[in-house]
Amino acid sequence: MKLPDHTNLTPDNIVAFLGDIFDRHGADSYLGEQVTTSEHMLQGALLAEEANAPDALIAGVLLHDIGHYTYEFPHAAFEQGVDDCHDQAGAAVLAPFFPTMVTACVGCHVAAKRYLCATESDYFDRLSPASVHTLRLQGGPMSESETAQFANNPELESLLQVRIWDEEAKVPGKKTRSFAYYVPLLKSLVDAKLRTGQSR
């Protein structure tokens, strides 16, 4: 798989760059799930919208898996038993252009899964088979010390909610909005960071 070139990204082209990823890779199979990559991410955004979530959380869940297409690992990394670190890869690409709440949602969605598996007795049973497989590669449920550290995150509840939407966004055939619908929201977040230098 040829990776998109993100070496020349600017506030003016970041949203188009993300849209291009959706256009070119959105129909890819999503780790063996019954939905495509774009269906999964767009379903997550819709769940956030339906919950009247802030724009940053809608953007965060919409973009949470974008790192699958900006990383140096092979596209079939998970099938090969390799953690592709897509959470951190995606956050790194987005960080210069989006508020930190957006990049935190992207960068912490794997950690949030590991945290929920360690702290909620029934959460593991709610994971899809693909999520169970990736959990093993990602370190399994958090240890007691990891859990205590993650619990100190001031945005804990928002990060956990994004992870919950992530797991729920795997419904075959569910109607969603298109990526184009979210372009104004994404541009407004980029513009706000550019204008004010805000980190949240």
Q: What is the CA radius of gyration of the chain?
A: 16
In a 3-state reduction of DSSP, which class is residue 29? Answer: strand
Q: What are the tens digits of pLDDT across the range 107-162? A: 999 999 999 999 998 999 988 888 888 888 888 899 999 999 999 999 999 999 99
Which domain covers residue 49, as residue numbers? 28-191
Q: Is residue 97 part of a domain?
A: yes
Predicted model pTM: 0.86
Burial of 173 (0-12, 13-18, 19+ CB in 10 A): exposed
Q: Is residue 17 part of a domain?
A: no
Split into its structural domains, the chain has a count of 1
Q: What are the tens digits of pLDDT across the range 41-76? A: 999 999 999 999 999 999 999 999 898 877 643 454
Q: Is residue 117 part of a domain?
A: yes
pLDDT number for residue 24: 84
- Rounded to whole angstroms, what are the CA distances from 71 to 5, 10, 75? 11, 19, 9
